[in-house]
A = this chain, B = another copy of it.
Amino acid sequence: MVQKSVPDVAKAGPRRRGRPRAFEPETALTQAMDVFWRHGFAAASLDDVSAATGLNRPSLYGAFGDKRALYLQAYGQYRKRVNEIFQPMFAAREPLRVKLRRILVAALDLYLSGEDGPRGCFTVLSAASDAIAEPGLQALVGEAIAGTDRAFGLLFADAREAGELPESADPRRLARIVAATLHTLSIRARARIPRAELLPIVDDVVITVCGA
B176 touches A204 (CB 8 A): yes
Q: Are A191 and B42 CB-contacts (below 8 A) given A128-B125, A183-B180, A204-B173? A: no
B184 touches A180 (CB 8 A): yes
B138 touches A208 (CB 8 A): no
Query: Which label, helix, strand, loop or mixed, suits the secondary structure of the A interface?
Result: helix
The answer to whether the Cβ of A81 comes within 8 Å of any Cβ in the partner chain is no
The one of B40, B187, B191, B201 in contact with A138, judged by C-beta atoms closer than 8 angstroms, is: B191
B129 touches A187 (CB 8 A): no
Q: Which size bracket describes the interface of A in this complex? A: 35 or more
Identify the closest chain B residue to A179 (Cβ).
B184
The answer to whether the Cβ of A124 comes within 8 Å of any Cβ in the partner chain is yes
- What residues of chain B lie closer than 8 Å to A183, measured between beta carbons? 180, 183-184, 187
A187 touches B42 (CB 8 A): no
Task: Report the minimal beta-carbon distance from A36 to chain B, rounded to whole angstroms.
Answer: 11
- What residues of chain B lie closer than 8 Å to A181, measured between beta carbons? 177, 180
Identify the closest chain B residue to A197 (Cβ).
B146
Interchain CA distance A187-B186 in the complex, whole Å: 11
The answer to whether the Cβ of A120 comes within 8 Å of any Cβ in the partner chain is yes
Bits for A172-198, please: 1 = Cβ < 8 Å to B, else 0: 010011011101100110111100000
Give A residues with C-beta under 8 Å from B: 38-43, 116-117, 120, 124-125, 127-130, 132-133, 138, 141-142, 145, 173, 176-177, 179-181, 183-184, 187-188, 190-193, 200-201, 204-205, 207-208
